[in-house]
Structures are given as structure tokens and as C-alpha cells.
Amino acid sequence: MGEAAAPNQAQGSPTCPVCHVQYASFGGRRVHERAAHPESFHGAEAARLRACTKAWWDPEEVRLMVTFERLHLDEREAVTAADPAPIPAPEADSGPTSQPQQPLSPLASQSLSRRERATSVVELPPPEEDLRLVLQREMETLSTILGLEVPRDTTDVQRQLDDWSLSPPRFAQDPRRA
């Protein structure tokens, strides 16, 4: 019991336990200890703050980022072609698993091929073709790529757009004006 009381007394005393300087109050000692001796004040928190950790990159994420950059290189001229070589390889014990990484999943590669087809440039038809038919073909192609059903008849869509168009708000008649 006497051994347990000694650390409590030292903890509440105005004397710094590291450099043994006397302060006017316990609060003053704590301010000094936090500034001058962070390792004893913070303990494990200070050690974690000083430790540097490397970013761990999943190889699948790297491949997806490189593919994205290559696909959109024409859109943003400031971005240079991404090369996975500068990104450090993860160490055996730094990753979530120590097993070798699998290649891209079929779903990811399928979405990449869809994105590649979706970002392809649409060529304008010759002027003699009907623009409405060309747009309908492009919409069908886009709907098959995205897996969505696009309505062939646009009258319903046009009617909805007309309903949603901005029109002056209708207010209830003021009984005093009527």
C-alpha cells in the first residue's frame, strides 16, 4: 500500500519527475512536462506520432489507377502516363494478408472494358443520314453497354419534360381580391 501511494504523490507534486525542477503548481509542471518531455507525458501516443508509416498500395488499385489515367490522358494534358514502377512494392508483413495478390477480378475487368467502350468517341454521321435514327442507334448501344433499358418512344419523356419545365407558380386566389 505504501508503494502505491508514492507514485500518486509524485504524480500530484509540482516537481517534474524527469528533470526534477520545482514549479509553483501541479498544472505548471504538466505544461512544462508536455512541452519539454513529450515521451513521458504522452507515452505511447508520442511514439506513434514519431513513427513513420509507408502507404501500402493494393496492386489491383494500382492497376485500376493506371488504367484510369491512361484512358483519360487525352482529357487532361497535364497528367503524364502513370507508371506503377515508382510506387513501392508492399513488404511481406505490411499488407493485410501475406498471400500473393490475385489478378483483376472478372467484374473489375468487365467494368473496365465497359468504361473503355463508353468513353470511345462517337463519330458524327454524314449529313444525309437521319440524325434521329443515328441517335436511336447510339442510345441502344449505350443501353447495352450500361445494362439499362432506354425507352424507344420519346413522347413519354418529352411529356415529362414539359410537365417539369419551369412555369409561373400557381398561387391560391386571395379571397380579398376575388
- Model's pTM, two decimal places? 0.22
Model pLDDT, residue 115: 56
Tens-digit pLDDT profile for the chain (178 aa)?
A: 333 333 444 567 889 888 999 999 988 888 888 888 877 777 656 566 666 666 677 888 888 888 888 877 766 554 454 444 555 566 655 555 555 555 555 555 555 555 555 555 556 656 666 667 777 788 788 778 877 776 666 666 666 666 665 555 555 565 665 5
DSSP string, 92-115: TTTSS-SSPPP---HHHHHHHHHH
Boundaries of every domain in the chain: 8-50, 56-92+103-118, 127-164
Contact 6, 15 (CB under 8 A): no
Contact 18, 40 (CB under 8 A): yes
